[in-house]
Amino acid sequence: MKLGAFSISLSVKDLQKSRDFYEKLGFTTMAGTTESNYLIMKNGSTLIGLFQAMFDGNMLTFNPGWDENAQNLESFDDVREIQKKLKESGVEIGKEADETTSGPEHIYLKDPDGNMILIDQHR
Protein backbone atom coordinates (compact mmCIF):
# COMPACT_ATOMS: atom_id res chain seq x y z
CA MET A 1 0.00 0.00 0.00
CA LYS A 2 1.34 3.43 -0.95
CA LEU A 3 0.21 5.82 1.79
CA GLY A 4 2.17 8.88 0.64
CA ALA A 5 3.72 11.57 2.83
CA PHE A 6 3.76 10.91 6.58
CA SER A 7 3.41 13.48 9.33
CA ILE A 8 2.28 13.70 12.90
CA SER A 9 -0.68 16.02 13.44
CA LEU A 10 -0.58 17.70 16.83
CA SER A 11 -3.56 19.33 18.49
CA VAL A 12 -2.02 22.42 20.10
CA LYS A 13 -3.34 24.91 22.65
CA ASP A 14 -1.45 27.97 21.34
CA LEU A 15 -0.41 27.87 17.69
CA GLN A 16 2.09 30.72 17.96
CA LYS A 17 3.84 29.22 21.00
CA SER A 18 4.03 25.86 19.26
CA ARG A 19 5.37 27.48 16.08
CA ASP A 20 8.05 29.32 18.06
CA PHE A 21 9.04 26.08 19.83
CA TYR A 22 9.36 24.00 16.66
CA GLU A 23 11.25 26.79 14.89
CA LYS A 24 13.85 26.52 17.69
CA LEU A 25 14.16 22.84 16.73
CA GLY A 26 14.93 23.85 13.14
CA PHE A 27 11.45 23.52 11.61
CA THR A 28 10.15 26.06 9.09
CA THR A 29 6.58 26.67 7.97
CA MET A 30 5.79 25.12 4.60
CA ALA A 31 1.98 25.51 4.56
CA GLY A 32 -0.92 26.96 6.51
CA THR A 33 -1.38 30.23 8.39
CA THR A 34 -2.10 31.26 11.94
CA GLU A 35 -5.38 32.79 10.67
CA SER A 36 -6.47 29.37 9.42
CA ASN A 37 -5.46 27.79 12.78
CA TYR A 38 -2.93 25.37 11.32
CA LEU A 39 0.68 25.23 10.20
CA ILE A 40 2.61 22.47 8.48
CA MET A 41 6.21 22.60 9.70
CA LYS A 42 9.16 20.90 8.03
CA ASN A 43 12.71 19.96 9.04
CA GLY A 44 14.47 17.99 6.32
CA SER A 45 12.00 15.27 5.34
CA THR A 46 10.21 15.41 8.72
CA LEU A 47 6.74 16.95 8.81
CA ILE A 48 4.67 18.09 11.78
CA GLY A 49 1.19 19.57 11.47
CA LEU A 50 0.17 21.99 14.21
CA PHE A 51 -3.61 22.39 14.56
CA GLN A 52 -5.34 24.69 17.05
CA ALA A 53 -8.96 23.93 17.97
CA MET A 54 -9.50 21.69 14.93
CA PHE A 55 -9.58 18.20 16.50
CA ASP A 56 -9.02 16.44 19.82
CA GLY A 57 -5.81 14.54 20.40
CA ASN A 58 -2.86 13.85 18.16
CA MET A 59 -2.86 11.59 15.12
CA LEU A 60 -0.67 9.97 12.53
CA THR A 61 -1.36 11.41 9.08
CA PHE A 62 -0.70 10.02 5.62
CA ASN A 63 -1.29 11.89 2.36
CA PRO A 64 -1.71 9.58 -0.64
CA GLY A 65 -0.50 11.25 -3.83
CA TRP A 66 2.03 13.54 -2.13
CA ASP A 67 5.67 13.31 -1.16
CA GLU A 68 7.12 15.07 1.90
CA ASN A 69 7.29 18.35 -0.08
CA ALA A 70 3.56 18.21 -0.94
CA GLN A 71 4.57 17.50 -4.53
CA ASN A 72 2.37 15.19 -6.57
CA LEU A 73 3.57 11.61 -6.87
CA GLU A 74 3.30 10.05 -10.31
CA SER A 75 1.88 6.83 -8.92
CA PHE A 76 -0.14 6.38 -5.72
CA ASP A 77 -2.94 4.31 -4.22
CA ASP A 78 -6.21 6.23 -4.05
CA VAL A 79 -7.65 6.48 -0.54
CA ARG A 80 -10.66 4.46 -1.72
CA GLU A 81 -8.34 1.61 -2.82
CA ILE A 82 -6.57 1.80 0.54
CA GLN A 83 -9.93 1.68 2.33
CA LYS A 84 -10.99 -1.38 0.33
CA LYS A 85 -7.74 -3.23 1.15
CA LEU A 86 -8.02 -2.35 4.83
CA LYS A 87 -11.62 -3.50 5.06
CA GLU A 88 -10.74 -6.76 3.27
CA SER A 89 -8.05 -7.26 5.92
CA GLY A 90 -10.59 -6.79 8.70
CA VAL A 91 -9.52 -3.29 9.73
CA GLU A 92 -12.40 -1.22 11.10
CA ILE A 93 -12.73 2.21 9.46
CA GLY A 94 -14.11 4.97 11.70
CA LYS A 95 -14.97 7.40 8.89
CA GLU A 96 -15.24 5.85 5.45
CA ALA A 97 -14.56 7.48 2.09
CA ASP A 98 -17.39 7.75 -0.41
CA GLU A 99 -16.43 5.10 -2.96
CA THR A 100 -18.67 6.67 -5.63
CA THR A 101 -16.47 9.76 -5.84
CA SER A 102 -12.95 10.54 -7.01
CA GLY A 103 -10.36 13.12 -6.00
CA PRO A 104 -9.92 14.54 -2.49
CA GLU A 105 -11.25 12.34 0.32
CA HIS A 106 -10.16 10.99 3.71
CA ILE A 107 -10.68 8.15 6.15
CA TYR A 108 -10.07 7.73 9.88
CA LEU A 109 -9.12 4.57 11.72
CA LYS A 110 -7.51 3.59 15.01
CA ASP A 111 -4.65 1.23 15.70
CA PRO A 112 -5.04 -1.50 18.38
CA ASP A 113 -3.99 0.97 21.09
CA GLY A 114 -6.53 3.60 20.08
CA ASN A 115 -4.10 5.90 18.25
CA MET A 116 -5.92 7.87 15.57
CA ILE A 117 -4.74 7.56 11.96
CA LEU A 118 -5.89 9.94 9.23
CA ILE A 119 -5.40 9.04 5.57
CA ASP A 120 -6.07 12.36 3.83
CA GLN A 121 -5.89 12.56 0.03
CA HIS A 122 -5.78 16.10 -1.37
CA ARG A 123 -6.05 15.36 -5.11
pLDDT tens, 46-87?
A: 999 999 999 989 999 999 999 988 899 999 999 999 999 999
pLDDT of residue 35: 96
Q: Does domain 5-121 have CATH number 1.10.10.10?
A: no
Q: For 119, phi and psi rounded to 5 degrees?
A: -115, 105
The CB density around residue 38, as the number of other CB atoms within 10 Å, is 18
Q: For 25, phi and psi rounded to 5 degrees?
A: -90, 5
Q: What is the CA angle 92-110-90, rounded to 5?
A: 25
Domains in the chain: boundaries: 5-121
Using only the alpha carbons of the chain, give its radius of gyration: 15
Whole-model pTM: value is 0.88
